[in-house]
């Protein structure tokens, strides 16, 4: 077994000299400062990431709301068009019924075309 030599305090080569203690304390402080800087950077990065996510979510919510409003306007315009087309269809059906009524067609045949009811021998019936 070998025994380690005792530290030489006078030469400064020992393990626990005042200079080494100060350097070690400085290194510990320097290490804690580095750790603190890393933690601050990490916190800043995390806050920036959280702010970015919140901003993105806000943008998505605004976009969705705008789409809802736009779709509402389109739906309103489609309902107005449907109502107008239904009204036009009712008017056209009434006009069709008027133009194809037997009374009107008989009157037009007599006045414009000079037609008369058929005489007795003009009607050809089934055999």
Q: What is the mean pLDDT of residues 113-118?
A: 88
The confidence score (pLDDT) of residue 33 equals: 82
Question: Per-residue pLDDT tens for 35-54?
Answer: 889 999 999 999 999 999 99
- Look at residue 11 and tell me whether its pLDDT is greater than 60: no
Reported pTM:
0.49
- The gap from C-alpha 41 to its chain's centroid, in whole angstroms, comes to 34
DSSP 14: S
- Look at residue 27 and tell me whether its pLDDT is greater than 80: no
Indicate the domain borders of the chain. Answer: 18-111
The confidence score (pLDDT) of residue 39 equals: 93
CB atoms within 10 A of CB 122: 8
- Look at residue 127 and tell me whether its pLDDT is greater than 70: no
The confidence score (pLDDT) of residue 22 equals: 60
């Amino acid at each position: 077994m070998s025994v380690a030599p005792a530290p030489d305090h006078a030469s400064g080569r020992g393990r626990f000299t005042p200079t080494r203690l100060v350097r070690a304390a400085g290194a510990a402080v320097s290490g804690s400062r580095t750790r603190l800087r890393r933690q601050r950077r990490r916190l800043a990065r995390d806050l920036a990431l959280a702010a970015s996510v919140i901003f993105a979510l806000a943008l998505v919510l605004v976009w969705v709301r705008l789409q809802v409003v736009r779709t509402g306007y389109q739906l309103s315009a489609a309902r107005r068009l449907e109502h107008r087309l239904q009204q036009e269809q009712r008017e056209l059906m009434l006009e069709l019924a008027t133009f194809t009524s037997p009374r009107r067609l008989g009157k037009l045949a007599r006045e414009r075309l000079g037609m008369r009811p058929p005489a007795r021998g003009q009607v050809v019936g089934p055999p």
